Structure 1
Amino acid sequence: MTPLRFAEGVTLVGGGALDRETLALAKARAPVVVAADGGANWLSAWGEPASAVIGDMDSVEDADGWRARGARVERIAEQETTDLEKCLYATEAPFYLGVGLMGRRFDHTLGALHALLRQPAKRIVLIGEEDVVFLAPPVWRARLEAGARVSFFPLRPVTGVASEGLVWPIDAIAFAPGVRIGTSNAAADETVAARFDDFGMAATVERRFLDAVLDSLTTAEA
């Protein structure tokens, strides 16, 4: 299929834990709304519009109603990918903010992390109740504040090449699931930087640093 192309950031809405404050937070930065299958039910309940509803349509309650309201409804029947992955490969946008994709069901949270790794070239930030999560680019630098929590969890084997501004440097550390992780690190200074040998590291910071994370991904080196 030809991807739907959007000139502005996209808020991806899943069917997991979500409140209206979080949705508004995302929409203020990414005004185009795309529902991942059952995420459309949140929008219906709140009277919120969507540009598109994408997925295998096994959870959306009123696909015909969305068509009548002018939304693009894309049913993708294949079962090799999650609804979030379908949204990502079926659209193109400058960046994505994912809400309703963490919490409630842990298997869906794991699926969202998997989607980050499957689409390393796309700028995607998942917004949770307390945190934001994103796939760290190989060269990442952000302005946070001293003492801010910075956690790294490898989704695949990845090595820390260099770092600055972290309480516990990650230089020359070989990370891998089940072997070595880097959770509960912290910023020692206002500016934090990390370099990795490849994509593969999920980074988590406090939700109040969402804008700093977006800035860091926009300016990240390839």
Structure 2
Amino acid sequence: MFQPIVNSTHGVTLLGAGAVNQIDVDDALTIAPCLVAADGGGDRALDLGHEPQAVIGDLDSLSAQARAHLGSRVHHVAEQDSTDFGKCLALIEAPFILALGFTGQRLDHTLAAMSDLFRTSKTVVMLSEEEVITRCPAHITLDLEPETRVSIFPFGPVTAHSSGLRWPLDGLEFSPDTRVGTSNAALGRVEITLNGSALLMVPREGLGAMLQALGLPQT
């Protein structure tokens, strides 16, 4: 499980079988041109007119037709201790990953994807139908339009310092079972210094700002 299947010097677009559309995939590939699919995401890629360089997963949802078409690009990982998204994250080596199609259908799958996103040490930006989501680094600066929604969801005890938010984070303690920092709002440029582990979410129109803040290409 630890020998990489995909090694890319460019960003990877990782496609799942969840909610995704043609425009999002096409746009993602301009930023991260190496396309990899997670299990049934292989069918989704082909339906959208794209040929994945690899399909990784336990293959319980990839169609027989797609499997025959893709041939040696299909990589069966049989163990059941991780999700297909988690398998892909473990088996891809790349500067960063843009993940699409891992939300919007079954809630348990979406929650599992959020957990995988939190656990990985790799740079991953996930696109859902409405949000851009990443594991929040210890310090981040986002150039956002005023009134842009900014949410922090903790995965354990979290304290933070912030500037540029309508409701400052200073002096507050966050955790999944007490206080979560959803639906804050930017006043303009936002700076967050985080002590702990949390996911950072902004609306889809904040993708460019998120990529810039993480030092990633935007085209």
TM over 0.5, yes or no? Answer: yes
Aligned-partner Cα distance in 1 for 2:13–2:70: 17
CA RMSD of aligned residues (A): 1.3
Q: What is aligned with 1:32?
A: 34
Q: What is aligned with 1:126?
A: 126
Amino acid in the other structure paired with 1:148:
T
1:11-160 aligned within 5 A:
11-61=13-63, 62-67=66-71, 72-119=73-120, 121-160=121-160
Identical amino acids, percent of aligned pairs:
42
Q: Secondary structure at the match of 1:205?
A: strand
Deviation at 1:83, TM superposition (A): 0.4
Deviation at 1:64, TM superposition (A): 2.7
Amino acid in the other structure paired with 2:18:
G
Residue 15 of structure 2 is aligned to residue 6 of structure 1? no
Aligned-partner Cα distance in 1 for 2:145–2:48: 35
Deviation at 1:22, TM superposition (A): 1.3
Cα deviation 1:84-125 (Å, max 9, x = unaligned): 010010011111111111111111111111011111x31111
Aligned-partner Cα distance in 2 for 1:172–1:6: 42
Amino acid in the other structure paired with 1:137:
P
Aligned-partner Cα distance in 2 for 1:82–1:2: 17
Aligned-partner Cα distance in 1 for 2:94–2:81: 23
- List structure 1 segments (4+ residues) > 4 angstroms apart after TM superposition: none
Aligned-partner Cα distance in 1 for 2:56–2:95: 18
Deviation at 1:216, TM superposition (A): 1.0
Residue 209 of structure 2 is aligned to residue 208 of structure 1? no
Aligned-partner Cα distance in 2 for 1:165–1:27: 32
Deviation at 1:146, TM superposition (A): 1.3
Deviation at 1:173, TM superposition (A): 1.7
Q: Secondary structure at the match of 1:213?
A: helix
Deviation at 1:172, TM superposition (A): 2.7
Aligned-partner Cα distance in 1 for 2:85–2:210: 21
Match of 1:192 among 173, 190, 193: 190
Amino acid in the other structure paired with 1:40:
G
Aligned-partner Cα distance in 2 for 1:151–1:22: 22
Amino acid in the other structure paired with 1:196:
L
- Count residues in correspondence: 212
Q: Secondary structure at the match of 1:87?
A: helix
TM-score (norm 1): 0.91
Gaps of at least 5 residues in structure 1 are: none
